[in-house]
Amino acid sequence: MFLDKINQELDILKEKGNFRELRDIDSILSKPGMVNLSSNDYLSLGSDELLRREFLEYALENNLRLTSSSSRLLTGNTNEYIELENKLASLYGSEKAIVFGSGFHANEGILPAVSNEKTLILADKLSHASLIDGLRLSSAKNIRYRHNDYDQLNRLIAENSSLYEKIIIVTESIFSMDGDEVDLERLVEIKKSYNNILIYLDEAHGVGVRGKNGLGCAEEKGVIKDIDFLIGTFGKALASVGAYIICNNCVYEYLINKVRPFIFTTALPPINLAWSLFIMDRIASMDQRRERLKKISQKMHSYIESASQPVISSSHIIPVMIGESSKACSIAEQLQKLGFWVMAVRPPTVSEGKARLRISLCADMEEKQIDSLIRALKQLVPPYE
Protein backbone atom coordinates (compact mmCIF):
# COMPACT_ATOMS: atom_id res chain seq x y z
CA MET A 1 0.00 0.00 0.00
CA PHE A 2 2.60 2.56 1.11
CA LEU A 3 5.10 1.27 -1.46
CA ASP A 4 2.48 1.36 -4.25
CA LYS A 5 1.71 4.96 -3.44
CA ILE A 6 5.30 6.15 -3.41
CA ASN A 7 6.05 4.19 -6.56
CA GLN A 8 3.26 6.09 -8.29
CA GLU A 9 4.78 9.35 -7.15
CA LEU A 10 8.19 8.29 -8.42
CA ASP A 11 6.65 7.41 -11.79
CA ILE A 12 5.16 10.88 -12.04
CA LEU A 13 8.56 12.43 -11.32
CA LYS A 14 10.10 10.27 -14.03
CA GLU A 15 7.42 11.18 -16.58
CA LYS A 16 8.02 14.87 -15.99
CA GLY A 17 11.78 14.54 -16.17
CA ASN A 18 12.06 15.61 -12.51
CA PHE A 19 13.40 12.35 -11.07
CA ARG A 20 16.67 12.71 -9.16
CA GLU A 21 19.31 10.12 -8.43
CA LEU A 22 22.75 9.93 -6.86
CA ARG A 23 25.76 9.23 -9.03
CA ASP A 24 29.28 7.95 -8.54
CA ILE A 25 30.74 11.37 -9.06
CA ASP A 26 34.40 10.50 -8.56
CA SER A 27 34.46 8.10 -11.46
CA ILE A 28 32.74 10.70 -13.65
CA LEU A 29 34.97 13.64 -12.80
CA SER A 30 38.19 11.66 -13.03
CA LYS A 31 37.71 11.19 -16.78
CA PRO A 32 40.50 13.07 -18.54
CA GLY A 33 39.51 16.58 -19.61
CA MET A 34 36.24 16.64 -17.66
CA VAL A 35 35.40 20.17 -16.50
CA ASN A 36 33.22 20.38 -13.40
CA LEU A 37 30.69 23.18 -13.91
CA SER A 38 28.46 22.10 -11.04
CA SER A 39 30.74 22.73 -8.11
CA ASN A 40 30.46 25.52 -5.55
CA ASP A 41 34.24 25.55 -5.08
CA TYR A 42 34.20 29.05 -6.54
CA LEU A 43 37.73 30.03 -5.55
CA SER A 44 39.11 26.54 -6.30
CA LEU A 45 40.37 26.28 -2.72
CA GLY A 46 38.75 22.88 -2.23
CA SER A 47 40.68 21.43 -5.14
CA ASP A 48 43.99 23.08 -4.19
CA GLU A 49 46.22 20.15 -3.26
CA LEU A 50 49.13 22.25 -1.97
CA LEU A 51 46.90 24.12 0.42
CA ARG A 52 45.38 20.86 1.60
CA ARG A 53 48.77 19.26 2.18
CA GLU A 54 50.00 22.26 4.12
CA PHE A 55 46.98 22.05 6.38
CA LEU A 56 47.12 18.29 6.81
CA GLU A 57 50.74 18.51 7.95
CA TYR A 58 49.71 21.11 10.49
CA ALA A 59 46.76 18.92 11.52
CA LEU A 60 49.02 15.92 12.02
CA GLU A 61 51.62 17.88 13.98
CA ASN A 62 48.92 19.19 16.26
CA ASN A 63 47.09 15.88 16.37
CA LEU A 64 43.76 17.56 15.61
CA ARG A 65 40.77 15.53 16.67
CA LEU A 66 38.27 14.16 14.16
CA THR A 67 35.24 14.41 16.41
CA SER A 68 34.00 16.67 19.16
CA SER A 69 31.92 13.88 20.72
CA SER A 70 29.46 16.32 22.21
CA SER A 71 27.22 19.32 21.63
CA ARG A 72 28.75 22.77 22.11
CA LEU A 73 26.88 23.52 25.32
CA LEU A 74 28.18 20.33 26.89
CA THR A 75 31.84 19.63 26.12
CA GLY A 76 32.02 20.32 22.39
CA ASN A 77 33.03 23.98 22.54
CA THR A 78 36.65 23.31 21.70
CA ASN A 79 39.37 25.90 21.40
CA GLU A 80 39.05 25.71 17.60
CA TYR A 81 35.52 27.16 17.86
CA ILE A 82 36.73 30.02 19.99
CA GLU A 83 39.58 30.87 17.63
CA LEU A 84 37.39 30.65 14.53
CA GLU A 85 34.62 32.82 16.00
CA ASN A 86 37.14 35.39 17.19
CA LYS A 87 38.67 35.48 13.72
CA LEU A 88 35.26 35.98 12.08
CA ALA A 89 34.33 38.77 14.49
CA SER A 90 37.62 40.54 13.90
CA LEU A 91 37.35 40.25 10.10
CA TYR A 92 33.81 41.66 10.08
CA GLY A 93 34.45 44.18 12.85
CA SER A 94 31.61 42.77 14.95
CA GLU A 95 31.36 41.94 18.64
CA LYS A 96 30.67 38.28 18.00
CA ALA A 97 30.17 35.46 15.53
CA ILE A 98 28.56 32.07 16.02
CA VAL A 99 29.51 29.01 13.99
CA PHE A 100 26.80 26.46 13.11
CA GLY A 101 26.99 22.92 11.77
CA SER A 102 25.71 23.98 8.35
CA GLY A 103 23.97 26.78 6.52
CA PHE A 104 20.80 24.73 6.58
CA HIS A 105 20.98 24.48 10.38
CA ALA A 106 21.66 28.19 10.72
CA ASN A 107 18.74 29.31 8.56
CA GLU A 108 16.16 26.85 9.81
CA GLY A 109 17.19 27.57 13.40
CA ILE A 110 17.78 31.31 13.61
CA LEU A 111 14.59 32.53 11.93
CA PRO A 112 12.19 30.74 14.33
CA ALA A 113 14.34 31.84 17.28
CA VAL A 114 14.23 35.55 16.51
CA SER A 115 10.57 35.85 15.52
CA ASN A 116 7.15 35.40 17.11
CA GLU A 117 3.46 36.15 16.48
CA LYS A 118 4.21 39.86 16.55
CA THR A 119 6.75 39.52 13.75
CA LEU A 120 6.19 39.75 10.02
CA ILE A 121 8.79 38.06 7.82
CA LEU A 122 9.00 39.27 4.23
CA ALA A 123 11.07 36.82 2.19
CA ASP A 124 12.21 37.02 -1.40
CA LYS A 125 10.32 34.49 -3.49
CA LEU A 126 13.58 32.81 -4.58
CA SER A 127 14.93 32.27 -1.08
CA HIS A 128 16.76 28.99 -0.42
CA ALA A 129 14.86 25.97 0.94
CA SER A 130 16.59 26.33 4.33
CA LEU A 131 15.19 29.86 4.69
CA ILE A 132 11.74 28.65 3.70
CA ASP A 133 11.92 25.89 6.31
CA GLY A 134 12.97 28.56 8.82
CA LEU A 135 9.77 30.46 7.96
CA ARG A 136 7.71 27.31 8.32
CA LEU A 137 9.08 26.61 11.77
CA SER A 138 8.53 30.19 12.90
CA SER A 139 5.35 31.43 14.54
CA ALA A 140 5.65 34.70 12.62
CA LYS A 141 3.36 35.57 9.77
CA ASN A 142 5.27 35.47 6.52
CA ILE A 143 4.77 36.78 3.01
CA ARG A 144 6.96 35.96 0.02
CA TYR A 145 7.51 38.98 -2.22
CA ARG A 146 8.27 38.75 -5.93
CA HIS A 147 11.95 38.24 -6.61
CA ASN A 148 13.88 41.51 -6.10
CA ASP A 149 10.63 43.51 -6.43
CA TYR A 150 11.31 46.46 -4.13
CA ASP A 151 8.10 48.27 -5.05
CA GLN A 152 6.08 45.34 -3.80
CA LEU A 153 8.33 45.07 -0.76
CA ASN A 154 7.82 48.77 0.01
CA ARG A 155 4.07 48.39 -0.37
CA LEU A 156 3.96 45.39 1.96
CA ILE A 157 5.98 47.26 4.56
CA ALA A 158 3.82 50.39 4.33
CA GLU A 159 0.67 48.30 4.78
CA ASN A 160 1.99 46.23 7.66
CA SER A 161 4.62 48.11 9.60
CA SER A 162 2.24 49.48 12.23
CA LEU A 163 0.60 46.06 12.71
CA TYR A 164 3.73 44.25 13.83
CA GLU A 165 6.40 44.75 16.45
CA LYS A 166 9.08 44.07 13.86
CA ILE A 167 9.50 43.14 10.23
CA ILE A 168 12.37 40.92 9.08
CA ILE A 169 13.36 41.10 5.41
CA VAL A 170 14.90 37.79 4.34
CA THR A 171 17.00 37.48 1.20
CA GLU A 172 20.07 35.94 -0.35
CA SER A 173 22.83 38.25 -1.60
CA ILE A 174 23.76 36.33 -4.76
CA PHE A 175 20.87 34.05 -5.60
CA SER A 176 21.79 30.41 -5.89
CA MET A 177 19.78 29.52 -8.96
CA ASP A 178 19.64 32.77 -10.97
CA GLY A 179 23.07 34.16 -10.06
CA ASP A 180 21.61 37.65 -9.81
CA GLU A 181 21.93 39.90 -6.77
CA VAL A 182 19.88 41.71 -4.21
CA ASP A 183 20.13 45.51 -4.29
CA LEU A 184 21.63 45.86 -0.83
CA GLU A 185 21.83 49.65 -0.87
CA ARG A 186 18.14 49.82 -1.68
CA LEU A 187 17.30 47.35 1.07
CA VAL A 188 19.26 49.36 3.62
CA GLU A 189 17.52 52.54 2.47
CA ILE A 190 14.12 50.88 2.99
CA LYS A 191 15.20 49.68 6.42
CA LYS A 192 16.28 53.16 7.45
CA SER A 193 12.96 54.76 6.62
CA TYR A 194 11.28 52.69 9.37
CA ASN A 195 12.24 51.95 12.93
CA ASN A 196 11.18 48.32 13.14
CA ILE A 197 12.88 46.60 10.20
CA LEU A 198 15.67 44.05 10.40
CA ILE A 199 17.59 42.55 7.48
CA TYR A 200 18.44 38.84 7.32
CA LEU A 201 21.03 38.27 4.58
CA ASP A 202 22.17 34.84 3.42
CA GLU A 203 25.59 35.25 1.79
CA ALA A 204 26.11 31.57 0.91
CA HIS A 205 27.24 32.49 -2.61
CA GLY A 206 28.76 35.87 -1.79
CA VAL A 207 31.36 35.07 0.86
CA GLY A 208 34.83 34.43 -0.45
CA VAL A 209 34.10 35.82 -3.90
CA ARG A 210 32.96 39.38 -3.15
CA GLY A 211 34.36 42.29 -1.19
CA LYS A 212 37.91 43.54 -0.75
CA ASN A 213 38.59 40.93 1.93
CA GLY A 214 36.27 38.30 0.53
CA LEU A 215 33.63 38.86 3.22
CA GLY A 216 30.76 39.02 0.75
CA CYS A 217 28.38 41.44 -0.93
CA ALA A 218 27.72 43.36 2.31
CA GLU A 219 31.43 44.17 2.46
CA GLU A 220 31.49 45.05 -1.24
CA LYS A 221 28.65 47.56 -0.74
CA GLY A 222 29.94 48.86 2.59
CA VAL A 223 26.81 47.87 4.54
CA ILE A 224 28.04 45.21 6.97
CA LYS A 225 26.93 47.32 9.93
CA ASP A 226 23.41 47.68 8.53
CA ILE A 227 22.77 43.94 8.27
CA ASP A 228 21.15 42.56 11.42
CA PHE A 229 21.60 38.87 10.62
CA LEU A 230 24.52 38.27 8.27
CA ILE A 231 24.90 34.58 7.44
CA GLY A 232 27.90 33.07 5.67
CA THR A 233 28.49 29.43 4.83
CA PHE A 234 31.79 27.55 4.78
CA GLY A 235 30.74 24.86 2.30
CA LYS A 236 31.05 26.82 -0.92
CA ALA A 237 33.84 29.28 -1.78
CA LEU A 238 35.38 28.77 1.67
CA ALA A 239 35.93 25.08 0.88
CA SER A 240 35.03 23.74 4.32
CA VAL A 241 31.86 22.86 6.21
CA GLY A 242 29.55 24.80 8.53
CA ALA A 243 28.14 28.32 8.62
CA TYR A 244 28.23 31.46 10.73
CA ILE A 245 26.30 34.50 11.79
CA ILE A 246 27.90 37.87 12.48
CA CYS A 247 26.22 39.53 15.47
CA ASN A 248 26.54 41.60 18.63
CA ASN A 249 26.91 40.34 22.22
CA CYS A 250 23.20 40.38 22.95
CA VAL A 251 22.12 38.45 19.85
CA TYR A 252 24.99 36.04 20.51
CA GLU A 253 23.70 35.16 23.97
CA TYR A 254 20.13 34.97 22.76
CA LEU A 255 20.83 32.62 19.85
CA ILE A 256 22.95 30.28 21.94
CA ASN A 257 19.99 29.90 24.27
CA LYS A 258 17.29 29.65 21.63
CA VAL A 259 18.44 28.10 18.35
CA ARG A 260 17.44 24.45 18.50
CA PRO A 261 19.73 23.17 15.71
CA PHE A 262 22.58 24.87 17.59
CA ILE A 263 21.73 23.38 20.97
CA PHE A 264 20.68 19.86 20.02
CA THR A 265 23.39 18.76 17.63
CA THR A 266 26.93 17.47 17.91
CA ALA A 267 29.59 20.16 17.57
CA LEU A 268 31.74 20.18 14.44
CA PRO A 269 35.00 18.20 14.60
CA PRO A 270 38.04 20.29 15.61
CA ILE A 271 39.88 19.37 12.39
CA ASN A 272 37.13 20.94 10.24
CA LEU A 273 37.01 24.09 12.36
CA ALA A 274 40.78 24.40 12.14
CA TRP A 275 40.58 24.12 8.34
CA SER A 276 37.92 26.84 8.26
CA LEU A 277 40.22 29.05 10.32
CA PHE A 278 43.15 28.19 8.03
CA ILE A 279 41.04 29.44 5.09
CA MET A 280 39.78 32.55 6.92
CA ASP A 281 43.38 33.47 7.77
CA ARG A 282 44.06 33.61 4.02
CA ILE A 283 40.76 34.74 2.50
CA ALA A 284 41.60 38.46 2.45
CA SER A 285 44.64 37.77 0.27
CA MET A 286 42.78 35.75 -2.36
CA ASP A 287 42.31 38.74 -4.70
CA GLN A 288 43.86 37.04 -7.69
CA ARG A 289 41.39 34.20 -7.49
CA ARG A 290 38.49 36.65 -7.14
CA GLU A 291 39.72 38.57 -10.18
CA ARG A 292 40.08 35.41 -12.29
CA LEU A 293 36.57 34.35 -11.39
CA LYS A 294 35.26 37.76 -12.38
CA LYS A 295 37.07 37.66 -15.69
CA ILE A 296 35.76 34.27 -16.82
CA SER A 297 32.28 35.17 -15.53
CA GLN A 298 32.26 38.24 -17.77
CA LYS A 299 33.17 36.03 -20.70
CA MET A 300 30.12 33.85 -20.01
CA HIS A 301 27.90 36.92 -19.57
CA SER A 302 28.91 38.10 -23.05
CA TYR A 303 27.86 34.74 -24.46
CA ILE A 304 24.47 34.96 -22.71
CA GLU A 305 23.86 38.41 -24.18
CA SER A 306 24.85 37.34 -27.68
CA ALA A 307 22.73 34.17 -27.55
CA SER A 308 19.31 35.83 -27.04
CA GLN A 309 19.23 34.30 -23.56
CA PRO A 310 17.53 36.29 -20.80
CA VAL A 311 20.22 38.36 -19.09
CA ILE A 312 19.82 37.42 -15.45
CA SER A 313 23.16 36.66 -13.82
CA SER A 314 25.64 39.25 -12.64
CA SER A 315 27.90 36.72 -10.98
CA HIS A 316 29.82 33.47 -11.34
CA ILE A 317 26.56 31.48 -11.22
CA ILE A 318 25.10 31.53 -14.70
CA PRO A 319 21.79 29.97 -15.68
CA VAL A 320 21.24 28.94 -19.27
CA MET A 321 17.48 28.86 -19.62
CA ILE A 322 15.92 25.91 -21.43
CA GLY A 323 12.27 25.58 -20.32
CA GLU A 324 11.10 21.99 -20.28
CA SER A 325 12.73 19.59 -17.82
CA SER A 326 13.24 16.78 -20.31
CA LYS A 327 14.87 19.12 -22.83
CA ALA A 328 17.18 20.52 -20.14
CA CYS A 329 18.18 17.00 -19.16
CA SER A 330 18.95 15.96 -22.70
CA ILE A 331 21.11 19.04 -23.37
CA ALA A 332 22.91 18.50 -20.06
CA GLU A 333 23.61 14.92 -21.09
CA GLN A 334 25.06 15.98 -24.41
CA LEU A 335 27.30 18.53 -22.71
CA GLN A 336 28.44 15.87 -20.25
CA LYS A 337 29.47 13.67 -23.16
CA LEU A 338 31.52 16.57 -24.48
CA GLY A 339 33.36 16.79 -21.16
CA PHE A 340 31.38 19.52 -19.39
CA TRP A 341 29.83 18.35 -16.15
CA VAL A 342 26.69 20.49 -16.23
CA MET A 343 23.49 19.58 -14.41
CA ALA A 344 19.93 20.45 -15.30
CA VAL A 345 18.10 22.28 -12.52
CA ARG A 346 14.45 21.35 -12.52
CA PRO A 347 11.28 21.82 -10.52
CA PRO A 348 10.78 21.94 -7.61
CA THR A 349 14.17 23.67 -7.22
CA VAL A 350 13.02 26.20 -9.84
CA SER A 351 9.46 26.90 -10.93
CA GLU A 352 7.62 24.79 -13.51
CA GLY A 353 8.70 25.53 -17.10
CA LYS A 354 11.91 27.19 -15.98
CA ALA A 355 14.28 24.26 -16.15
CA ARG A 356 17.79 25.35 -16.93
CA LEU A 357 21.42 24.45 -16.96
CA ARG A 358 23.14 25.90 -13.93
CA ILE A 359 26.72 26.72 -14.71
CA SER A 360 28.91 27.68 -11.81
CA LEU A 361 32.41 28.85 -12.54
CA CYS A 362 35.54 28.33 -10.45
CA ALA A 363 38.64 30.48 -10.39
CA ASP A 364 41.04 27.90 -11.79
CA MET A 365 39.11 27.25 -15.01
CA GLU A 366 41.13 28.03 -18.10
CA GLU A 367 39.92 30.51 -20.66
CA LYS A 368 40.20 27.98 -23.42
CA GLN A 369 37.86 25.68 -21.47
CA ILE A 370 35.33 28.51 -21.25
CA ASP A 371 35.73 29.16 -24.97
CA SER A 372 34.98 25.56 -25.88
CA LEU A 373 32.05 25.50 -23.45
CA ILE A 374 30.60 28.52 -25.24
CA ARG A 375 31.08 26.84 -28.61
CA ALA A 376 29.22 23.77 -27.36
CA LEU A 377 26.38 25.85 -25.89
CA LYS A 378 26.00 27.73 -29.16
CA GLN A 379 25.44 24.44 -30.94
CA LEU A 380 23.15 22.76 -28.43
CA VAL A 381 20.98 25.40 -26.80
CA PRO A 382 17.96 26.64 -28.75
CA PRO A 383 16.81 30.28 -28.36
CA TYR A 384 14.77 30.64 -25.16
CA GLU A 385 11.17 31.74 -25.65
Question: Rule CB under 6 A: which residues touch ligand PLP?
Answer: 102-104, 107, 128, 130, 172, 176, 202, 204-205, 233, 235, 243
Closer to ligand PLP by Cβ: residue 94 or 130: 130
Q: How far is CA 42 from the centre of its chain?
A: 11
Nearer to ligand PLP, 243 or 342 (CB): 243
Shortest CB 209 distance to ligand PLP, Å: 13
Distance CA 231, CA 249 (A): 16
CA–CA–CA angle 220, 311, 317 (5° rounding): 50
Active site residue 225: no
Instruction: Determine which one of 108, 178, 181, 202 is catalytic.
Output: 202
- Based on the residue annotation, tell me whether 236 is a catalytic residue of this protein: yes
Q: Rounded to an integer, what distance in angstroms lies between the CA atom of residue 2 and that of residue 65?
A: 43
Max CA separation in the chain (angstroms): 61
For 330-376, give the DSSP string: HHHHHHHHTTEE-EEE-TTTS-TT-EEEEEE--TT--HHHHHHHHHH
Answer whether 111's CB lies under 8 Å from 123's CB: no
Catalytic residue among 172, 178, 219, 220: 172
Q: Is 172 a catalytic residue?
A: yes
Q: Which of 96, 191, 236, 354 is catalytic?
A: 236
3-state secondary structure 279-322: HHCCHHHCHHHHHHHHHHHHHHHHHHHHCCCCCCCCCCEEEEEE
Cβ proximity to ligand PLP: between 134 and 270 the closer is: 134
Q: Among this protein's residues, is 176 annotated catalytic?
A: yes
- Residue from 205, 221, 316, 354 carrying the catalytic annotation: 205
CB of 6 to ligand PLP, least distance (A): 26
Does the annotation mark 128 as catalytic?
A: yes
User: Kind and range of the H or E element at 145?
Assistant: strand 141-145
CB closer to ligand PLP, 231 vs 370? 231
CA 165-228-176 angle, 5° bins? 110
In angstroms, what is the minimal distance from the CB of 130 to ligand PLP?
Answer: 5
Q: How far is the CB of 133 from ligand PLP (least distance, A)?
A: 10
Taking the complex as a whole, the smallest distance from the CB of residue 39 to ligand PLP amounts, in Å, to: 12
Residue of minimal Cβ distance to ligand PLP? 103
Active site residues: 40, 128, 172, 176, 202, 205, 236
